[in-house]
């Protein structure tokens, strides 16, 4: 996505928390705006300067600080790359609790600041559960280093249970660098599974996707680690643009089907094979799924995963992509894709080639839906046909207009589709408490506040 281009005269790459503190204290004094930046893989422009902000990039802070192989608690600098951390943990028998497409470049500090979700949230939960400690630099006159449950930071270290006051670290998770610069993270890592299985199924309609999901949760229980979904348009797109082979022997009845990928991760290969085998047998016997394929080795598993993972890339090859990352309750999930397509048919944009295809895929287990609208080009007419209509359609379903990508520069004025007025007002007040001079990511994340006074004035009640 080349939607956001930075224009900053200065990029700083501090090597330590102390250096970050000095930079921030200086910026506070001089009222210089700052954009914290990690691996710069975000999709909503959160890490990109929009005016002439100073860019503070954390790539120079990339050391593992500590790992405890009894508790599985890892403590690292914010600039460590996710995949590097995974590779560090694997020989020790542990893994990172999150995995996403950008793993080769994204930083753990950015993951935490954007509350990254990804492929395995279904199993290992969100960062609000697995992050145990955060070190951050606050935008005040001293560039105060605040250490919440970090080793050596004073007070309690990283612990699974610590009920001494408000859990401040939770606020930094998903704050997109607006409350402080995250410089260090402690995170609970799960055991690396010794057995992984992958299967892909074809089912006739979206209702069957839900049936399969419910049955899968019941039968696979604790070993289910991913439940992914894509539609016929998605499969066609991938097969056309990547040269991949269809994993199915038969074409779907009526030319259309829905696809799910099931991954299990467990500690005993035989047990997992038996559980998954039993599930697939039942689904085929009862006619819930029409066709299916089970990976026989790691290469086949990777090939099945790539059907799902190469979707965004395939969309980019076909045209210019409007990407939407939303959460929608499962009862209304796929109707959003259908309604979007119907809209393009109605307004003639499907017929005249303005819209090439509309693809739905996502993480069923998290109600997270990615809609990729592939257009001939980025232009105002197309954009105005989609927005704000699609946000309204999500809000009507009590969904979230940003499931995992965040707000950045793209959506500060759209927050109200997913959050109420009193909630947004509270967020603005909290931001002011942490960042009284408004130097962190100005103009991003939240709408401008009409009701908040300038620093030093009386609060409006």
Closer Cβ to a copy of itself, 60 or 447, answer by number: 447
CB of 26 to a copy of itself, least distance (A): 17
Which residue, 133, 32, 161, 12, is CA-closest to 74?
Answer: 133
Residue from 10, 90, 342, 423 in contact with a copy of itself (CB under 8 A)? 423
Judged by CB under 8 A, the residue of 305, 334, 361, 445 near a copy of itself is 445
Looking at 21, 58, 115, 202, which residue binds a copy of itself (CB under 8 A)?
115
Give me the least distance between CB of 346 and a copy of itself, in Å please.
27
How many of the other CB atoms lie within 10 Å of CB of 380? 7
281 is a contact residue toward a copy of itself (CB under 8 A): no
Q: Closest separation between CB of residue 40 and a copy of itself, Å? A: 18
The sheet carrying 73-77 orders its strands as 64-68, 73-77, 181-188, 131-137, 145-148
Assigned token pair, 163: 């009920």
Query: Is residue 405 a contact point for a copy of itself (CB under 8 A)?
Result: yes
Q: Which stretch binds a copy of itself (CB under 8 A): 22-30, 308-316, 339-347, 358-366?
A: 358-366
Contact 203, 84 (CB under 8 A): no
Tell me the two tokens of residue 17.
């928390």
User: Per CB under 8 A, which of residues 46..75 are in contact with a copy of itself?
Assistant: 68-72
CA distance 252 to 273: 26
Stretches 109-117, 227-235, 249-257, 307-315: which one binds a copy of itself (CB under 8 A)?
A: 109-117
Q: How far is the CB of 44 from a copy of itself (least distance, A)?
A: 9
> How far apart (Å, rounded) are the C-alpha atoms in residues 72 and 93?
9
Query: Nearest to residue 16, comparing CAs of 72, 86, 79, 67?
Result: 79
Whole-angstrom distance, CA of residue 206 vs CA of residue 220: 21
The residue within the footprint of a copy of itself, chosen from 286, 398, 413, 448 (CB under 8 A), is 398
451 binds a copy of itself (CB under 8 A): no
Q: Is position 167 an interface residue for a copy of itself (rule: CB under 8 A)?
A: yes
Interface segment toward a copy of itself; rule CB under 8 A; list 77-85, 186-194, 339-347, 353-361: 186-194
Tell the smallest beta-carbon distance from residue 70 to a copy of itself (Å).
Answer: 5
Map residue 51 onto helix, strand or coil. coil
β-partners of residue 64 are 76
**Candidate segments 161-169, 241-249, 281-289, 294-302, binder of a copy of itself by CB under 8 A:** 161-169
Q: Taking CB under 8 A as the criterion, which residues in 192-231 touch a copy of itself? A: 193-194, 210, 213-214, 217-223
Q: What is the DSSP letter of 57?
A: E
For the stretch 266-303, what's the b/e string if a residue is b when 16 or more beta carbons lie within 10 angstroms of its beta carbon? beeeeebeebbeebbeebeeeebbbbbbbbeeeeebeb
Number of residues that bind a copy of itself (CB under 8 A): 110
Among 80, 81, 89, 138, binds a copy of itself (CB under 8 A): 138
449 binds a copy of itself (CB under 8 A): no
Give CA–CA dist 41/45, Å, rounded.
9
């Amino acid at each position: 996505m080349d939607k956001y281009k930075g224009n900053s005269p200065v990029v700083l790459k501090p090597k330590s928390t102390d250096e970050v503190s000095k930079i921030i204290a200086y910026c506070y004094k001089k009222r210089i705006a700052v954009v914290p930046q990690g691996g710069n893989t975000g999709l909503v422009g959160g890490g990109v300067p929009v005016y002439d902000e100073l860019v503070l990039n954390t790539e120079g802070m990339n050391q593992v600080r500590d790992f405890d192989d009894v508790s599985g608690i890892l403590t690292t600098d914010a600039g460590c790359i996710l995949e590097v951390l995974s590779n560090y943990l694997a020989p020790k028998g542990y893994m990172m609790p999150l995995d996403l497409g950008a793993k080769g470049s994204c930083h753990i500090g950015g993951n935490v600041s954007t509350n990254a979700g990804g492929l395995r949230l279904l199993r290992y939960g969100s960062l609000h559960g697995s992050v145990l400690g955060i070190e951050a630099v606050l935008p005040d006159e001293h560039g105060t280093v605040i250490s919440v449950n970090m080793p050596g930071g004073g007070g309690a270290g990283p612990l699974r249970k610590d009920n001494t006051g408000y859990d401040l670290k939770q606020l930094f998770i998903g704050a997109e660098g607006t409350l402080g610069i995250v410089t260090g993270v402690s995170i609970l890592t799960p055991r690396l599974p010794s057995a992984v299985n992958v299967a892909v199924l074809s089912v006739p309609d979206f209702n069957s996707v839900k049936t399969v999901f419910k049955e899968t949760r019941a039968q696979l229980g604790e070993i289910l680690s991913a439940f992914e979904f894509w539609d016929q348009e998605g499969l066609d797109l991938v097969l056309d643009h990547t040269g991949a082979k269809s994993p199915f022997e038969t074409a779907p009845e009526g030319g259309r089907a829905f696809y799910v990928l099931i991954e299990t991760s467990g500690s005993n290969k035989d047990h997992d094979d038996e559980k998954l085998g039993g599930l697939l047998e039942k689904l085929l016997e009862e006619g819930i799924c029409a066709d299916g394929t089970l990976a026989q080795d790691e290469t086949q598993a990777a090939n099945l995963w790539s059907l799902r993972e190469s979707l965004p890339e395939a969309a980019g090859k076909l045209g210019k992509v409007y990407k939407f990352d939303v959460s929608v309750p499962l009862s209304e999930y796929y109707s959003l894709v259908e309604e979007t397509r119907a809209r393009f048919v109605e307004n003639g944009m499907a017929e005249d080639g303005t819209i090439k295809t509309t693809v739905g895929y996502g993480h069923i287990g998290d109600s997270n839906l990615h809609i990729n609208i592939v257009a001939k080009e980025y232009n105002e007419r197309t954009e105005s046909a989609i927005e704000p209509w699609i946000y309204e359609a999500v809000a009507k379903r009590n969904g979230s207009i940003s499931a995992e990508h965040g707000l950045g520069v793209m959506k500060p004025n759209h927050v109200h589709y997913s959050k109420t007025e009193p909630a947004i007002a509270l967020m603005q007040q909290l931001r002011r408490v942490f960042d009284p001079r408004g130097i962190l990511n100005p103009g991003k994340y939240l709408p401008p506040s009409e009701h908040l006074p300038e620093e030093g004035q009386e609060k409006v009640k």
